[in-house]
Structure 1
């Protein structure tokens, strides 16, 4: 380091170059890759009054108008929070390119929502883009994270490829964007002090402003969703004025850490479930190959196994699913293939034991509106030896009964709150599937 950090004064101010070195040292073992110039490289700008580190806002100060410094304790707290993040490199979320991205921008700090910033950097002309990635140039980062090291680009036919980041990184960047927005809002409110105030009042106002801009202040705490939209139809709620701002003020009702960004709703029955973040919304969305064909990918392990206690109550926030003790047809199909038919999936010898064969897929004919004619087909694609195709066919009604039996064991409280005796208030006819309007352009609704 260019500046010695005194062990006994961990709360003291350190220069930006020292903070860069400290950030790298503290996060050397982090699962999320960090940048070497988190304080001195764009989009970080000490003159804005803050720098983003992970999901935390670190304030910047200057004593003589020229040398900028940051509190060492804040750097250490941000590093500790990032070191606690666990990342699965295979658990990816698509971040672009999308059409119709929102046009609003910040006027300080990160300047742009992080998805748009990444899109701009990746879509730069060839020479400019290559120059920005040269070893001799200053690297680009977001909130102290070197996102290029974990970015995955997947080809998309003849068109340009799609970009993906690990879900853990997406959640950290969402938290950073939310923290920045809150910090700027609190700072602007604190700065609106009338000129005619007395010196005593000015000092009190300044002290209140310093408390408000603290990242640990209650003003930055997201509201917990307590069922305020319970039983309401998405088609009606989405047209109400002011709903967008209200959704952004809630914490995600599933992970309970990231700020909510969309209203998740049941596409089969039309009811609002709860506000969720982009990451949880992407994780829940079935991996459709076609409109009635789903690839049963690895993220279903989290939905139906490790994090089932979070997802099952969330899905049953829909009165239709709760009353019928089932799931929307795509979710039920994925559950049937992943859970009920798990023992049927063949395996082949591998260097380390046996490996599940090929790719699991489930499709269906008919509709949930006509349960008697609906049939789920579970198959294995891309078997190395070409041995396996269709594993089994499960009638819709049998799949529902299997799910109810499993639900009573996996989530007794959810199963107890459901049942056919709770049909009051539901539409006489099941609503048709509602087209998803929150996917391609990442719009709020």
Structure 2
């Protein structure tokens, strides 16, 4: 007998009025049931949705799963994202050597050791911005005054992009992550940003500096190992991902913590680097700003949780659901997984993905967030929201979750 049950539309909307930090309640129901489910996405296709932590890791480590966005059946998040990837596809949307070789080229720039070496400089940036914040008027929008400048300044310095041009790449990045963007808008934004970065690469190939784009120009472009377009696309990926995700984590994490004064006090007074590092991992788990799922496609038949996924079937991995899985986060004496608890051991979260395609810049993000949350509440102990949480505009309209604005005072 045919199953005529209509697949549920995905992604689902959060119940922001109940709790703006929680994933949709339906995901929790499906996770508890355990089975994979078909969901219906924007183009009418019905990929499999994976909600459990264990199953998500199994999919992302399976040899028959593909990240290649050119594969038939790949469940693109929207027509606009499909168009952008067609114009500006990077190694993150590829498999095998096409992914592994470029990743190795960049990996040495983002090792844990190199990112730890930047801690002192990140601290200087954070302190300077907080000093400027305290000297200015209040209330102030923490997004524009602090959350966005911290990672933008850092990624600009690493890549060799003039921070004076931050309005350009921040404007274009917003087009990339807005769910309302059209294919024409995202393609035009990609064209503009690629040409912007390519111009920098041209200049650095002649007069290199001590930055990532200069190294790529000298070691990859000049010898002909990569084309101008390939280097520019790589720069686009690093520039947009390097500021957009951390900026949203800073603002959203601040909003979440300000509703939990006991945890803020522990964070502010502890002085324990291990607790601070753990708090950042817990924030990454609890918030999971990549909230529309990682997208994959099966390149061969495969079985997950007793479900046969056929070759060509799309797969959506609900990271926000997996990060609330009680089977994965069941620390004794710690609150349940739907609570924010900075004493939790949460390093095995999925916020950076899992397997060979996990986030290249995760070590930079960790250091940035540790410095930010280890400094912000210590320097401004009376920091508070300047408007009720229910008045804050959350980014349910974006592919990266966060807040559009966060008015704070002290």
TM-score by length of 1: 0.23
Specify the structure having the higher radius of gyration (Cα). Answer: 1
Which structure has more relative contact order (CA 8 Å, sep 6+)? It is 2
